[in-house]
Amino acid sequence: MAYVINERCISELDGSCVDVCPVDCIYEGLTKRYIQPAECIECGACLTECPVSAITAPADTDPAWAEDNRAFFALPLPGRSAPLDSPGGASGTGPTGVDTPLVTNWNQG
């Protein structure tokens, strides 16, 4: 299992974690970032850079947020016809402009 970004990242798109990621696996949704599990090499560089401690190591990950992170890439997001999947780097993808249903509902709650 790869590193996961939890609810502390919602509305916190600082980007420090993105800058230190050696494999460019941290993608931007509308209000939260997501780590592509197949691209993450579990180096831990992002852990200390997150200003809100939203990134968790695999052993410390809440299963709900692990599933949410996986869903961002594996399921078609609202307004999209296909899953994002593993595009091979966030910098070439840019912000997606949409979040998972869990994050969207969190923002509305």
- In this prediction, residue 107 has a pLDDT band, given cuts at 50, 70 and 90, of confident
| CATH number of residue 65's parent domain | 3.30.70.20
Task: Output the CA–CA distances (angstroms, integers) from residue 85 to 18, 50, 63, 70, in the order listed.
Answer: 18, 24, 20, 9
At 109 the pLDDT is 65
Any domain includes 60: yes
- Read off the pLDDT of residues 19-68 as tens digits, 9 standing for 90 and up: 999 999 999 999 999 999 999 999 999 999 999 999 999 889 999 999 99
Mean pLDDT of 91-95: 93
Residue 4, beta-bridge partner list: 56
Any domain includes 58: yes
Any domain includes 14: yes
Any domain includes 90: no
Distance CA 48, CA 20 (A): 10
Any domain includes 97: no
Which residue range is the domain that position 69 belongs to?
4-81
pTM: 0.94
Phi and psi based region of residue 94 (left: phi greater than 0; alpha: psi -120 to 50; beta: remaining): left
At 108 the pLDDT is 76
Number of domains in the chain: 1
